[in-house]
Amino acid sequence: MSSEAGQSTEQEKVAAPSARSRVRRAAERGHYDEATVHAIVDEAWLCHVAFACPDVLCLPTTCWRVKDKLYIHGSNGSRMMKHLASGAPACVTVTHLDGLVMARSAFSHSMNYRSVVIHGAFEVVADEDKPAVLHALMEHIVPGRGSDSRVPDAKELKATTVLGISLREAAAKIRNWGPRDSEEDMALPHWAGVLPLMTQRLAPVSNQQRIKPVPDYIAKWLNQARPPEMI
């Protein structure tokens, strides 16, 4: 999409799943369709989880998706994991920064981004389901890694809490266009445009103990970097 008007197309088709998930500020940037939400979540390795226990905290952690849930994991002794396992309310965010938008006026500067906000409560993944869900994590990190690493043993599984939160109450927000200067500012001499940003995948650095050739699946992964869509 290359215009603000285009951003509202999916919003017109799919309504916000709840009042609290509805995008209010710059509502034309809101998207509630499953495909958009899933695509943004799937590109993330990191999310931020906000909760109160009793102080308000917001912590970064690894995330991945399986079907209609976002998953996180951690030690059984983690304060966050213990609190969220109780069914306490939480808010999860995922953000990709795609560009710095340079307008002619300082006030009109902005950023291009893709984000998702998820409201709800986490549920504990049953012991019998942990291996499959954690295997999905390995495949999310790098496709093919799940079959090229030792699977967790019984002791490791027992020490790990895995939690999932439904994506039913999720909202995406996207900006992917250039500066929007006022008509008066268009006459100013200052440069305007977008400075694109992306997470870059660099060449693998092999462990210095028992060095082996880089696997083909990692070489393939290196070539799958997605450039941000922007003007």
At 190-229, the pLDDT tens digits run 999 999 999 999 999 999 888 889 999 999 999 886 655 5
List, in order of start, the domains of the chain with CATH numbers.
27-177+191-200+210-224 (2.30.110.10)
Q: Evaluate whether 141 touches 45 at the Cβ level (below 8 Å).
A: yes
- Phi, psi values for residue 36, rounded to 5°: -65, -45
Residue 50's DSSP bridge partners are: 58, 91
Q: Tokens 């092999």 identify what position?
A: 206
Q: What number of other Cβ atoms are within 10 A of residue 229's Cβ?
A: 15
Burial 61-91 (b: 16+ CB within 10 A, else e): bebbbbeebbbbbbeeebebbebbbeeeebb
In the chain, pLDDT over 90 holds for what percent of residues? 87
Q: pTM to 2 decimals?
A: 0.89
At 102-137, the pLDDT tens digits run 999 999 999 999 999 999 999 999 999 999 999 999
